[in-house]
Amino acid sequence: KVISRDFKLEVNKPLVNNATVITGFRRVGKTYIIFEAIEKLLTNYSRKEVVYINFEDERLINPSAELLTNLIPEIISMWGNPPKYLFLDELQVVENWSKWVRRMLDNEDIQIFITGSSSKMSSAELPTELRGRAWEKKIYPLTFREFLKFKNVDNDFLSLTANQIANYKFLFEEYLRFGGLPAVVLTEEERKHELLQSYFQTVVQKEIMERNKVENELAMKTLLKLLFNSTFITISKLHNSLKSLGIAVGKSTVDNYLSYIENSCFMDQLYIFNASMINQLQYPRKVYFVDTGLMTALSTNLSNNRGKLLENLMYIKLKKEGERITYYKDKTDNEVDFLVWKEEKIEAMYQVCVDLTDEETRSREIKSIIRAGKKLGCSNLNLVTSVKPEGLVIPKNINVIEMVVN
């Protein structure tokens, strides 16, 4: 059974001479979103008019540009007409795929939908021939609301009873720990860790090493482990850490490896707010991952660090909303987790505080965001937590966002 997600692929409003590109991390649910769209189309179209091809099917050995060239003629020879809808899963494995898609868009009346697990298929990095000819939709792991749906739990956050809130808190801890990859959510708890580990191995092998022809497996996997256990990174720091572990790779190689990891939709790097682009690039970057479950499964120091998981979850939420984000840190170490930008102005600030009951921590986080707000001229200040404790007084100029009910 396909469990419906909040996102629906729009198939009844065709994009004239444009392709729809569905991107996202491997196992995030891109294929099932396609299946749901196909199921909808088949209520109005015949099976011959709606074609789906998975280019990672083991029966397609090294799919080539020649396969694409012959695709439509083969379909016509079997069924008499070209398809009206063409769904191409993981098309990026075929060399020069984008040139073929452009030719189809120019010469055929076919609605084309493509999926890919690489950020190189995003609208910002598409090959030149598809610039302006493709609409991207990025798919993320399940939101907490979708997670509840997968658990068959009522996800209407209005008029909650005390018992419902208590149950949400319990389920949110599972969501925070094991993340929102659909198959992991539906797997029994004792197998979640094993499944996440297998996803990691597959992504490293297929999406990072094979795709980029990386031969030094030890260096790549060690770098990933360093990233999972880091908050701030620099190329020099990572290079020195690898060197201290007896792994000799150059700084340029470390930089390339980071790009490969980021291109797999596995990780993002977040830059500091700085008026100077050169200075911005010199400061340490923060790292965030596509799913908190992968962090739990692969990090060695996250067992009690709910704060890092919650911060990562908030980053995913902002990123999903299409926000441009930086972090803030001044010379006195006042830090704000996220500045959200609208054009050239700071629209909002977000500070993650997992435990508002700890007075020292709460005071520090509130002071930091208030000082930064005054300095940068932003009055939209937000304190992010899982659940706000009853009776806790927060300054009136700060909004409290409870992730359990948002």
Q: Do 225 and 177 reside in the same domain of the chain?
A: yes
**Cα–Cα distance for residue pair 354/387, rounded to 1 Å:** 9
**pLDDT for residue 303 is more than 60:** no
Q: Do 100 and 47 reside in the same domain of the chain?
A: yes
Q: What pLDDT score was predicted for residue 2?
A: 66
Phi, psi for 86 (deg, rounded to 5): -130, 120
Indicate the residue among 294, 315, 332 that finishes a domain. Answer: 294
Query: Which tens digits make up the pLDDT trace of 317-351?
Result: 999 998 899 999 998 889 999 999 998 899 999 99
Instruction: Tell me, yes or no, whether 73 lies in a domain.
Output: yes
Structural domain that includes position 96: 19-139
Q: What pLDDT score was predicted for residue 10?
A: 84
Q: CA dihedral in degrees (229, 232, 235, 239; nearest 10)?
A: -40
pLDDT band at 93 (very low <50, low <70, confident <90, very high): confident
Indicate the residue among 294, 311, 344 that finishes a domain. Answer: 294
The SS3 call for residue 324 is: strand
Q: How far is CA 399 from the centre of its chain?
A: 26
Cβ atoms within 10 Å, residue 356? 19
Indicate the residue among 117, 139, 161 that finishes a domain. Answer: 139
Instruction: Tell me, yes or no, whether 10 lies in a domain.
Output: no
What average pLDDT does range 113-121 have in this prediction? 86
**pLDDT for residue 406 is more than 80:** no
Phi, psi for 162 (deg, rounded to 5): -60, -40
**pLDDT for residue 22 is more than 60:** yes
In the chain, % helix, strand, coil (3-state, to 5) comes to 45, 15, 35
Q: Do 124 and 252 reside in the same domain of the chain?
A: no
Q: Do 165 and 287 reside in the same domain of the chain?
A: yes
- Whichever domain contains 267, its CATH number is 1.10.10.10
Local structure of residue 272 (DSSP, 8 states): B
Q: Do 61 and 145 reside in the same domain of the chain?
A: no
**pLDDT for residue 262 is more than 90:** yes
Share of the chain above pLDDT 90, in %: 74
Q: Do 252 and 199 reside in the same domain of the chain?
A: yes
Q: Do 84 and 156 reside in the same domain of the chain?
A: no
Instruction: Tell me, yes or no, whether 252 lies in a domain.
Output: yes
Range from 141-155, 188-202, 206-220, 266-280 carrying the lowest mean pLDDT: 266-280
Mean pLDDT of the chain: 92
pLDDT band at 390 (very low <50, low <70, confident <90, very high): confident
3-state secondary structure 340-402: EEECCEEEEEEEECCCCCCHHHHHHHHHHHHHHHHHHCCCCEEEEECCCCCCCCCCCCEEEEE
* pTM, entire model: 0.92
Q: Do 167 and 264 reside in the same domain of the chain?
A: yes
Instruction: Tell me, yes or no, whether 350 lies in a domain.
Output: no
**Cα–Cα distance for residue pair 242/248, rounded to 1 Å:** 7
Instruction: Tell me, yes or no, whether 343 lies in a domain.
Output: no
Q: Which two tokens stand for residue 394?
A: 């927060």
**pLDDT for residue 280 is more than 90:** no
Question: Which helix (H) or strand (E) element contains residue 32?
Answer: helix 30-41
Instruction: Tell me, yes or no, whether 43 lies in a domain.
Output: yes
Q: What pLDDT score was predicted for residue 191?
A: 97
Query: Burial letters for 318-330: b for 16+ Cβ neighbours within 10 Å, e otherwise?
Result: bbeeebebbbbbe
Q: What pLDDT score was predicted for residue 319?
A: 95
What average pLDDT does range 14-27 have in this prediction? 86
Question: Which helix (H) or strand (E) element contains residue 287?
Answer: strand 285-289
What average pLDDT does range 282-294 have in this prediction? 95
pLDDT band at 61 (very low <50, low <70, confident <90, very high): confident
Q: Do 29 and 48 reside in the same domain of the chain?
A: yes
Q: How many domains does the chain have?
A: 2
- Tokens 């692929």 label which residue? 9
Instruction: Tell me, yes or no, whether 201 lies in a domain.
Output: yes
- Whichever domain contains 132, its CATH number is 3.40.50.300
Phi, psi for 130 (deg, rounded to 5): -110, 5
Instruction: Tell me, yes or no, whether 219 lies in a domain.
Output: yes
Q: What pLDDT score was predicted for residue 333?
A: 86
Q: Do 145 and 40 reside in the same domain of the chain?
A: no
What is the bridge-based pairing of β-strands 324-329 and 335-342? antiparallel
What average pLDDT does range 116-132 have in this prediction? 83
Q: Do 283 and 161 reside in the same domain of the chain?
A: yes
What average pLDDT does range 261-289 have in this prediction? 89
**pLDDT for residue 374 is more than 70:** yes
Query: Which tens digits make up the pLDDT trace of 184-196?
Result: 999 999 999 999 9
Q: Do 167 and 108 reside in the same domain of the chain?
A: no
Q: What pLDDT score was predicted for residue 115?
A: 94
